[in-house]
Structure 1
Amino acid sequence: MSNLINYSNGEMKTSTFEEKMENANFPMSDKGRVYHVEVKRGEVANRIITVGDHTRAEEFAQYLDKDSPLFRLSSARGFLTITGKYKGVPISIIAIGMGLPMMDFFVREVRSVVDGQLAIIRFGTCGSIGAARTGSIIVQNAAFAITRNYNYFSDTEEIESELTDEKPYNFTKIFHADPQLYKKIELELINSFGEDNVFTGLNATCDSFYSSQGRKDGNFRDYNSNLISNISDVYPEAISLEMEAFMLFHLAKSSTSLPLKDSNNTILKNSIKAASAAMVVADRVTNDFISPVKVHDIQKVAGKAVLNALVDFELIYVHPDDDDCVWNQN
């Protein structure tokens, strides 16, 4: 068994809401903890796997080195951080929940407490709008966002009389995953699942599980009956739908070199390298949905593949590996 280290050297966790918060612009407690994820310096590694649910995070954590300390922190806002080592390399696994805002909280707050480059891989679930069937894995090498256009819904009379120039859903431009990182994931997943079960392509990140993914709900006027076909018209290469990858790629593209210390050797334009992969749980072409047993079996294998890709990815500068880091504490 790994040595389990909880927050505050094994004492019961105290929420940051009981600590004094400072700086309304970027809230942080007087102990250096960020507001939502609640981590501080030395509790998150430079290499991170982010997932949606806690169960998947715990499943992946079973592969971490048994002879290294394991740190767990569950925040009041629902984030779970597990940090340890895999093949001797510091790794964090962070469950964030679902959606664009949760990804934004996670990336920004973790970036603020970790020195050096970050390599972040999202592993989650998705719906397929292409050839991938349930149980397949999709490596999302790029993503665009689909967001509900709230202005469109402001005047029902205009909509029904077709007087509005607004469209019910907006499509963004495409943002890309880091090419070296996603290719490492792709290779590891193909080695684990076979070439026929791994697809690589463009993803649509939606701001709703329902309306902006084209699901029908008679309780609301969503005007989304043609949304899936509209996706094919605008981005015919799109093969999957989910709710987080675009924000991860967008923030990686928007990241600066500011968090890097001791960066005299190399000035990096972007300090975050990001990639994403997801198992297909919903086939929007056949209307098939995956069984829970199959999900469990797939993520067991996928977890190890993603960990292997992450530790094999080179980072130029990482957080100082000192005794204050939780992965070094006994």
Structure 2
Amino acid sequence: MLLMKKSNANFPKTVEGQVFHVGIKRGEMGDLSRAKLLSRWLDADTPIFQRESRRGFLTITGKYKGVPVSIVGIGMGLSMMDFFVREARAVVDGSMIIIRFGTCGTIGKATAGDVVIPEGSFVVTKNYDYPIFENKEIAVQDYEIKTKEQPYNISKVIYGDKEIRGLIQKQLLNSGIPQNQIFQGLNATCDSFYSSQGRLDKNFVDHNKELFKSICTKYPDAESLEMETFMLFYLAKCSTDAPYRFQRKANNEQRNSIRAAATAVVISNRKTNEFVDPDRLDDLVKIVGEAVLKVLLEIELDEVHFEDDECVWNSKI
């Protein structure tokens, strides 16, 4: 059992200074195998830190062409993204760029094997107040007429960073991905892999047969379906300038400390049920993953240099 510091219950840490769920500390800043695959491009002549937390987060930190970066496998879902962004923010000082790279399904113009760069994201959540009736069809129709409630809630759009999105597209084109296989549009982040992504399951009453129609009616340019991007974009918009405590702007201007974008390889076309070939997927993960790393080289961040021993970059290897 690890003992916890009592100084800050909002962000509990171990005695080694690691945040509780992600398991990283200052400076150590999906799919775990994908994170390991992308780490092959990190510089071999500098230290590489790797830590897998008790809650399944894998963090690999090193340098890419001399620039400190972290590749983090967070698993799936809104809560995992919330854990990651908040706890990483708690142990990183200065500005941050976070790019979500993963896989997705599509209900738009893209198809399996294409790449999506979402302009913005909205969240699709189950309406847990929506009743489950014994006489389902008649009762549900009557309920919707009376209350005008729907079984799923679809939020407003939160937009990602436009500059980073453009750099991702540029690097994808430079890496050989054809223009006609790169799609923008909107992302639907869903609170379930099953019900709120329109998967039909006879074992449960999900009321999701018309879900894709509802999504596309509200957002005709909806392109991708997955489970993380909205939370990333939302938290980036909510981020404060608190981490700039070492270097406030002269005019004390308030600003977000996190800039966020996303890109994903389409593994399935949910309209046609086509799936990407596994070998093609492996190739795309390598190509798109390296393109994302190159994007990180193109944007300057406000640097904060630590003199204390708490930062792993100051530790003796």
| TM-score, reference length from structure 1 | 0.88
Q: Distance in 2 between matches of 1:235 and 1:99?
A: 22
How far apart, CA to CA, are the structure 2 residues paired with 1:311 and 1:106?
A: 22
- Aligned partner of 1:128 in structure 2 is 106
Residue 82 (1) aligns with residue 67 (2): no
What is the one-letter code of the residue matched to 1:18?
A: L
Matched, 1:305 2:288: no
Match of 2:41 in 1: 63
- CA spacing shift, 1:268–1:215, aligned 2, 3 Å: same
Distance 1:223 1:204 in 2: 18
**Which residue in the other structure is 2:303 paired with?**
318
Instruction: Report what 1:231 is aligned to.
Output: 215
Map of 2:179 onto structure 1: 195
Shift of 1:128: 1.0
Whole-angstrom CA distance in 2 between matches of 1:318 and 1:93: 19
Query: Equivalent residue for 2:17?
Result: 32
Measured in 2, the distance between the counterparts of 1:285 and 1:190 equals: 27
Shift of 1:106: 0.1
Structure 1 residue 21, shift from structure 2 partner: 4.2
For 2:142, the equivalent position in structure 1 comes to: 163
Q: Distance in 1 between matches of 2:45 and 2:68?
A: 13
Indicate if the aligned counterparts of 1:140 and 1:201 stay in contact, CA closer than 8 A.
Answer: yes
Give a deviation string over 1:254-279, Cα, whole Å, max 9, x none.
11001212223363421100000000
The CA deviation at 1:25 is 3.1
2:2/2:14 contact within 8 Å kept: no
The CA distance in 1 between the partners of 2:254 and 2:295, in whole Å, is: 22
**2:132–2:205: 8 Å Cα contact kept in structure 1?**
no
Unaligned runs of 5+ in 1: 1-16, 45-51
Which whole-Å deviations, capped at 9, do the CAs of 1:238-289 have from their partners, x for residues lacking one? 1111110000000000110012122233634211000000000010121101
Give the distance between the partners of 2:122 and 2:219, measured in 1 at CA: 9
1:102 and 2:102 are equivalent in the alignment: no
Q: Secondary structure at the match of 1:120?
A: strand
Which residue of 2 is the match for residue 143 of structure 1?
A: 121
Q: Which piece of structure 1 moves more, 22-31 or 233-242?
A: 22-31
Q: What does the per-residue CA deviation read over 1:78-101, in whole Å, with 9 as the maximum and x for residues that have no partner?
A: 000000000100000010000000
Q: Is the 8 A contact 1:146 1:212 kept in 2?
A: yes
Give the whole-Å Cα distance in 1 for the aligned partners of 2:136 and 2:42: 57
**Aligned-partner residue type, residue 28 of structure 2:** E
CA distance, structure 2, for counterparts of residue 273 and residue 157 of structure 1: 48
- Tell me the C-alpha RMSD between the 2 structures: 1.7
- The amino acid across from 2:14 in the alignment is S
Check if 1:279 corresponds to 2:265: yes
Conserved 8 A contact 1:140-1:202 = yes
- Provide the identity percentage: 50
CA contact (8 A) 2:246 2:304 kept: no
* Rounded Cα–Cα distance in structure 1 between residues aligned with 2:225 and 2:187: 6
Aligned in 2, Cα 1:263/1:157: closer, same or farther, shift over 3 Å?
farther
* Structure 1 stretch displaced more, 130-139 or 17-26: 17-26
Q: 1:152 is paired with a residue of what secondary structure?
A: coil
What is the CA-CA distance between 1:321 and the residue it aligns to? Answer: 5.6
Gaps of 5+ in 2: none
How many equivalent pairs are there? Answer: 306
User: Cα distance 1:76–1:202, how it changes in 2: closer, same or farther (>3 A)?
Assistant: same
Report the TM-score when normalising by structure 2: 0.92
How has the CA–CA distance of structure 1 residues 133 and 158 changed in structure 2, closer, same or farther, with 3 Å as cutoff?
closer
1:182-261 matches, within 5 Å, as 182-192=165-175, 193-261=177-245
Corresponding position of 1:181: 164
**Aligned partner letter, 1:208:** S
State the shift of 1:31 in Å: 2.8
Instruction: Pick which of 80-89 and 147-156 moved more.
Output: 147-156
